[in-house]
Amino acid sequence: MSQPAVCEVNECGVLAVGRCGTCRRPFCSTHQARDGSWKQYVDLCAPCFAKTPEQVARAESDAWRKREYAAKHFFNEDPGFHAEPSLAHEALLASGLKPVSIYSVSISQEYRLGLFGRRWVQNEEVTRCEGWVIGEFDWRDDGHDRDGNAIYHVSKVLTVVLHPAARGVLSVTRYKDGYLITKKHDFKDYLSAEVAVKEMTRFTPNSG
């Protein structure tokens, strides 16, 4: 009577349920290959499954998504975090780096009675706040071509973190003694922006 095979993955020793067609090792039910839908593989162990090109690609994209999610959180760009100052904001405040002037222009229209009757009057209100310019990053600009098809292009745009900054990152252009918030559509560069803020707040006068 032959000895029942035991799992040889990580010197596991539990009673085996199958043998791997790739590495020839017996595996137990814990070390059996299984995908996200809990489909089981009868002839593949978990370590060999993890090395298949599909699983390697999947692990890489999962890791990238996690990093991007963390970077969005760093700038308060995920719903649920908006009430508090962002980690970026706290790092910039603690660094002692001086914030600069950031302006925003809001335009409203008013139907006003004037000398020659009623007409639309455009009001432009400029408000000033402060923030830190953290560098140039990729912003996506949505638009339409001549045939009305949706198009977009990505370009490097100056980017700021506002103070107080419970509202993520914004794109700006130079304006007066500081910068003016522009209406860009979609920020694409959270990972590099997080790196930039961490770099610029690391070695500063106030850091101990």
For binding to Zn ion (CB under 5 A), which residues are involved? 7, 9, 12, 14, 20, 22-23, 28, 30-31, 45, 48
Phi then psi for residue 136, to 5 deg, are -105, 125
Residue 88 near residue 135, CB atoms below 8 Å: no
Residue 33 near residue 18, CB atoms below 8 Å: no
Angle at alpha carbon of residue 127, lines to 93 and 192, rounded to 5°:
45
Residue 145 amino acid letter = D
| Closer CB to Zn ion, 38 or 203, in the complex | 38
The least distance separating Zn ion from the CB of residue 57, rounded to whole angstroms, comes to: 19
| Closer CB to Zn ion, 23 or 129, in the complex | 23
| Closer CB to Zn ion, 47 or 85, in the complex | 47
The least distance separating Zn ion from the CB of residue 45, rounded to whole angstroms, comes to: 3
Residue 182 near residue 70, CB atoms below 8 Å: no
The least distance separating Zn ion from the CB of residue 22, rounded to whole angstroms, comes to: 5
Measured CA to CA, the distance from residue 95 to residue 93 in angstroms comes to 5
Give the count of alpha carbons within 13 A of 193, CB side only: 35
The least distance separating Zn ion from the CB of residue 191, rounded to whole angstroms, comes to: 34
The least distance separating Zn ion from the CB of residue 17, rounded to whole angstroms, comes to: 9
Measured CA to CA, the distance from residue 151 to residue 146 in angstroms comes to 10
| Closer CB to Zn ion, 14 or 195, in the complex | 14
| Closer CB to Zn ion, 23 or 100, in the complex | 23
Residue length of the chain: 208
